[in-house]
Structure 1
Amino acid sequence: MTRRRVLSLQRAGRIIRQGNTNSDVHIYRYVTKDTFDSYMWQLVEHKQKFISQIMTSKSPVRSAEDIDETALSYAEIKALATGNPHIKEKMDLDTQVAKLKLIKSSFMSQKFELEDKVLKYYPKQIAQLSVRIKGLTDDIQIVSQYPKREDTFYTMTINGLPYSEKEQAGKALLDMCQKMTSPEPISIGNYRGFEMDLSFDTFSKVFNVALKGNLSHKVELGSDVFGNIQRLDNALEGISKRLDITKENLEETKKQFEIAKVEMQKEFPQEEELKTKLKRLAEVDALLNMDKKDHEGAEFGGPDESEVQPKKKNEMER
């Protein structure tokens, strides 16, 4: 923890400590314009941005280097003290470049995500939805062979025995539930052209019947004899609606697929601006570095003339 941070905490601690009789307290921070303070506050700003990115996960930044006060070079301190305008420009450029890099990082992250979807996700989704549409269409053909009628109950076979009465079929179905010794699915019979598998959900504590045609249609059972038969009929009659929903999902997925293929080809719209600012920042850094070298040259010049040893006479003659 820096000394500046420690002093800030101590100052606040004296205000809020026990024994303070003031109900309202104002804390002031004084900053001197066009001085070293502006650079120090910029460092604190950068630190806070990195901390916020990590804590909120709003930025795709993968790593962040800590910015310490010692990063300020002697040349920069001298420039601040002498009012070098390049320092202000550097501070502005640092902020602008950091912002543009953050925007570009987010842009590239979204672009890579789109590329992954174009290569894997969308083709897989389209294939799965197409297979599901084919299965639902075939199951509708099976249902059409046993159309629902108010006065007709199609024979239900359970454990090898046929039941032509709705009440007897419902009781046999509940009896199979009571006889189950394992939650694993077991084949118990067929109804309206679909095979029936019975299973027990240990988490929800309910029995389920899967009506299996080309696809499997899950139905949760209750305790009512006639209610369970109605649930099975509703599941079969609802296949047409599920087919319509699946077709809509397929069309929407195809549209998103085409949009993603176009979007993934786009380049970062502020690339030229970023390059220009990076180039200027490098130039400003070079100017500040030249100031530093000039300063070193002035302080550490060549040897004093009084220290130069005169050459011997015989050396001069040679």
Structure 2
Amino acid sequence: MSDVVVIGGGTGLSTLGRVLKKLPINLTFIVTITDDGGSSGRLREDLGMPPPGDIRNNLLALADDENLLAKVFSYRFKSDKLLRHSLGNLILAGLTEMEGSFPEAVAAASKLLRIRGIVLPVADALIHLVGKFDDGTILKGETNITKKGCAPKELRLDRPVKALPEVVEAIEKADYIILGPGSLFTSIISNFLVDGVVEAIQKSHGEKVYMSNLMTQPGETRDFTLKQHVFAVEKYAGVKLDRIFWVNLSSIEKREPEIFENYRKSGAVPVENDMAGDSRIVKIEDFEEKQLEINGKKLVLRHSEKSIIKIAKILGIME
């Protein structure tokens, strides 16, 4: 079986995980720990633990679908008295105190949820992103960086930390290293800033794959083309990507123009493929309407199971 490592964070990875966990592969998710907003941000400040939210999302994505505990982990309190915490975040916080470390808590939660694969925080530390912008502004914290409204010129951590040994080992022996989909700077590149990650990627003989986001992200990649996304990934990872997957949204944009109008109102547009002559680009055309999910009252676009399976077949991960 192929060893597949996926690096990132946020909802992009969890979408991928729900499909990849069904394949006959050895799957490892390496997840960022720089989130400082919402329930995760409050727990990291109150308890001095790495933010659990991205980890929780990816544990749930890889969990046994019939596991009742997965539903428990998904529950979010509605009361302001409980600060609208996710119950899964609180369980991870409790496990961290019980087990003595965040990685041990994640391992314990993995057993409880009977996940199909491995989920690893990239490090066991409290760290913040620091972004420097073209106007000279320096901002600390993921939330502050994304509020700036443009991509940072430079991105670093507020202090050096080492990747978990298991993270380095998984990357080095991987047959495939999949980067994304997810927020370019705060979910993907943030992992590269941890000591040992870039070196492991460079040492690995595995195929380096980038899954492009469907849409640009206001506050982080506003008006970024595919080439700009790829440039940033290669700059911080220190490697040339072997394969780049991009989804063509033109057909669905013609059928469902109101969805894209809603995105444009928020400052997001489809990621433009300005690398058409690059042989590494693989264009995915079959984007079906079932990929539209209800998020509150808003329709949002997601990678579909069909397109992810197609990508797996193209890579040779599955027959």
TM-score by length of structure 1 reads: 0.16
Q: Which has the larger radius of gyration?
A: 1
As a proportion of its length, which structure holds more strand? 2
